[in-house]
Amino acid sequence: MRKKAIIFTDLDGTLLDSDYSCRQAVAALKLIKALHVPLILCSSKTRAEIERIRKKLDNKDPFISENGGGIFFAKKSKGLKKKFSLTEESDYLVLKLGAPYADLRNEINELRKEGFDLKGFGDMTVKEVAELTGLTVSDARLAIKRDFDEPFVFSGDSAAERSLKKRIKVRGFNFTQGEFFHLMGDSDKGRAVEKVMQAFEVKEQGLITIALGDSPNDIEMLQRVDYPVVVQKKDGSYNEAITRAVKGCIKAPGIGPDGWNRAVLDLLQKIR
């Protein structure tokens, strides 16, 4: 009898390649759908960005936005209101774990006053965000619709970076890093993954948990699951922060969605 599973995945550099395509992962995506395995997208991307990707994937499962800041469940989901304090928004029941975006913007301004040379997405025009990220202008418009997480660029040496991280912690906020630096409240992908596991009653249902990522902001997510997978970066390397921090981490045999595809197919075969 096949054991049931649930999969959590990062997007950029993991399920999506540098062209924001998942074509190399089609085989595994088809198998996931055929087996009715929940696929939980867990990204630093905004709700608007993830919604566009979900539409392309025909994904109807809950999703986690902005490094664990918010979890979006379908409004028709049953039993969740007994477990969580949720906000109703359009088609969703939302569990808000992150700090309000206005607080993050205020913190960026305060850190700048302290002498740190940083610039957040909220300080940039849509065109500037597009140029910085490589996104199209239309996609950049979605990237700046933020609720719980402020990506920023920082200029300074390693000593200045250590000082910045310390000040962020002292002031009651959190810091992580993916493609960019990120300022957050008391939230991360790991906490969000735990909440989704509660919603799916993972322990009660005996679900096998899998997660895939490629950057330091995926560490907390990977630490929460049975099968943590790190995928190769463009140069074929694996993020050393992940391999050091995540016990039993599986190294996917391929870059981005190619490695994602191979690892998922292999794991779903193993847990039959």
- Residues annotated as catalytic (active site), given as ranges: 10
Q: What is the C-alpha to C-alpha distance for residues 82 and 93, in angstroms, rounded to an integer? A: 12
Q: What is the C-alpha to C-alpha distance for residues 268 and 263, in angstroms, rounded to an integer? A: 9
Phi, psi of 23 (to 5 degrees): -60, -30
DSSP class of 72: E
Structure-block tokens of residue 158: 């390693």
Q: What is the C-alpha to C-alpha distance for residues 184 and 101, in angstroms, rounded to an integer? A: 9
Q: What is the C-alpha to C-alpha distance for residues 220 and 69, in angstroms, rounded to an integer? A: 13
Q: What is the C-alpha to C-alpha distance for residues 269 and 272, in angstroms, rounded to an integer? A: 6
Q: 75-84 — which CB contacts under 8 Å span 24+ positions? A: 77/199, 80/199, 83/198, 83/199, 84/195, 84/199
Structure-block tokens of residue 101: 């975006």
Q: With beta carbons less than 8 A apart as the criterion, state whether 263 and 249 touch.
A: no
Q: What's the alpha-carbon Rg for the chain, to the nearest Å? A: 18
